[in-house]
Amino acid sequence: MHFSNFLTCTLLSGVSSGFGVLVKRASLTKVSNWGSNPASLNMYIYVPSTLAASPGLVVACHGASGNAQQEFTSTPYATLADQLGFIVVYPESPVGAWDATSKASLTHNGGGASQSIANMASYAISTYKVNTAKVGNTMAGVYPDIFKSAVIYSAGYSGNIRSMYPSWTGTYPKVQTYLGSLDTIIGSSSFNTTLAAWASVFGYDTIPDTVQQNTPVSGWITYVYGSQLQGTWAVGVGHPVSVQGAQDAKWFGIA
């Protein structure tokens, strides 16, 4: 199974131990009439009881066979939202798998799932006065005008990223990617090709500036190419890599 980084929703299970366990005080809520929805997706949102001033926003996509409720309960984002005061949007595909490779989803305002998800984010930004510098996602979509950072779990891309943004002249979202060394679904070889593709976008060479051993987990290795790009090689891990909530919050500029 091959996913493009331009609509790569996470295939996640497991929760990071980066923060202590908290009881979620709010609840997952379905939102209606949130805007144009060309892909007929469902929108769910988690708003903690206490919001930070000018809160951040995380858009968390469920796995190919999952749903919003599963993503809500199996990942640490809602718990972190309670602690840090940010908002989480959980898009849901009624058919389970995401439209990740169609021309519509790979085109800005092309009418695919990526546009529906971007419109969800725009709704949350407007409704809750979100800090637009702190909008991150667990995908890397064709909407760098909305998403400023992305964390990509267990997915790969080997094409020309710039070709997907033919008219884009602004700043690309900074990217953190994770892949397990034993991943046989995405294929471990996609780790290097994904990083090389994004390095080209940011003007980095393919040799990392630093190599951090045992980061963020003992035995894992993180390669830092610059402030906009890093990749973590999860040694001994298959598919998927578990969510590293504490690291994500930092990468999104929320922690």
Domain enclosing residue 180, as ranges: 5-251
- How far is it, in rounded angstroms, from Cα 100 to Cα 79? 28
Q: Do 111 and 40 form a contact (C-beta atoms < 8 A)?
A: no
pLDDT confidence bin for 133, thresholds 50/70/90: very high
pLDDT confidence bin for 232, thresholds 50/70/90: very high
pTM for the predicted model, two decimal places: 0.87
Q: What CATH number corresponds to the domain at position 190?
A: 3.40.50.1820
Residue in the structure block whose two tokens are 């990223």? 161
- Poorest-confidence range of 44-48, 90-94, 100-104? 100-104
- How far is it, in rounded angstroms, from Cα 245 to Cα 53? 21
Element (H, E) at 198: helix 190-202
- How far is it, in rounded angstroms, from Cα 82 to Cα 85? 6
Residue in the structure block whose two tokens are 């973590």? 232
Q: Do 92 and 44 form a contact (C-beta atoms < 8 A)?
A: yes
Number of domains in the chain: 1
Whether the pLDDT of residue 116 is over 90: the answer is: yes
Residues 145-187: tens digit of each pLDDT: 899 999 999 887 766 666 666 666 678 889 999 999 999 998 9
Two structure tokens written together for 53: 């001033």
